[in-house]
Amino acid sequence: MSTVPDISGGTKTTEPSGTSSTTGTSGSSEASARPKDLMARTLHRLQREYALEGSQPTPWAAATMAALRTAGPGQVDAHPATWPVLYGTFPQGYGYGQEEVSSRERAAHATLVLYAVHQASQPKGMYVPGISLGRALGRLPDAKEAKSPVLRRFTSLISATTFESTMQHLRGLVTLLRREHLPVDYVSLYADLIGLQDAKQAPAVRRRWGRDYFGSRTPEREKAAAARPDAAPSDSTAGATGNTNGSGGLGADQHSTSTTFDLQH
């Protein structure tokens, strides 16, 4: 019998037969948790143990983040070094276990890789709930200028026709967010990346990114707006836009019949 660290912060006891049990967490509560909650738990732990103010990252966080940063966000099979955190995040029965890589596996892998790229060498956490991808990108300098390299990259992102090419464009944009210290809600992004692979949901995801991108304000514009007596509320208090119907997913697990992301099962 041996005991090894578990992603949840508890320990996993391995029996001689190869079976295992987890202590320190409730197995029943984990089994009933939503995928978004499980992703949030892993992101919070990574951020807490990696971006420690005045301290070095823990060995687990440093090794995990290093493995994630070297991976391609659109390639689950090519980077088995990321599997401990990927499959440690979700218990069995969360859309995994089939022969082909599922949309949830692909989205979870991409989310964790992109977060690791974003968080590298940052003194503060780059996972902040409530800040959508489109809104964060729209806050980049010159994001909305007609000849802006940022706008050109964003256009390439929403025009990409495969998941892997979309992730290549997104990784490049995340490096720009890192340079400007602009955070993103990575749990929200995880849901978006699942929907992006579904033909019925993908157009709504792209439109939401576009609405948030062009409706956001750069820090400079926010300061100027705040200085006006009739300044409108900052987009930092704005809610997320709703989903609409459409078609044109990126070709994986096209089984949903609603543009509402179903992360309950």
Domain residue ranges in the chain = 33-226
pLDDT band at residue 29 under the 50/70/90 scheme? low
Indicate the range of 59-73, 194-208, 232-246 predicted with least confidence.
232-246
Instruction: Say which residue the tokens 């090794």 belong to.
Output: 63
Q: What single letter denotes the amino acid at residue 241?
A: T
Q: How far apart are the first and last CA of the chain?
A: 32
Instruction: Say which residue the tokens 């956001």 belong to.
Output: 216
How much is the average pLDDT of 184-212?
97
CA distance 185 to 77: 25
Instruction: Say which residue the tokens 């892997």 belong to.
Output: 164
| CATH number for the domain whose boundaries are 33-226 | 1.10.520.40
pLDDT band at residue 211 under the 50/70/90 scheme? very high
Instruction: Spell out the alpha helix ranges (H) of 180-241.
Output: 186-195, 202-215, 219-226
**pLDDT over threshold 60, residue 255:** no
Beta-carbon contacts of 80 under 8 Å, excluding residues fewer than 6 positions away, are none
Full-model pTM: 0.73
Better-predicted residue by pLDDT, 152 or 245: 152
How much is the average pLDDT of 57-77?
95
Long-range contacts of 223-231 (CB under 8 A, 24+ apart): none
Sheet-wide strand order for 20-23: 2-5, 11-14, 20-23
Beta-carbon contacts of 161 under 8 Å, excluding residues fewer than 6 positions away, are 250
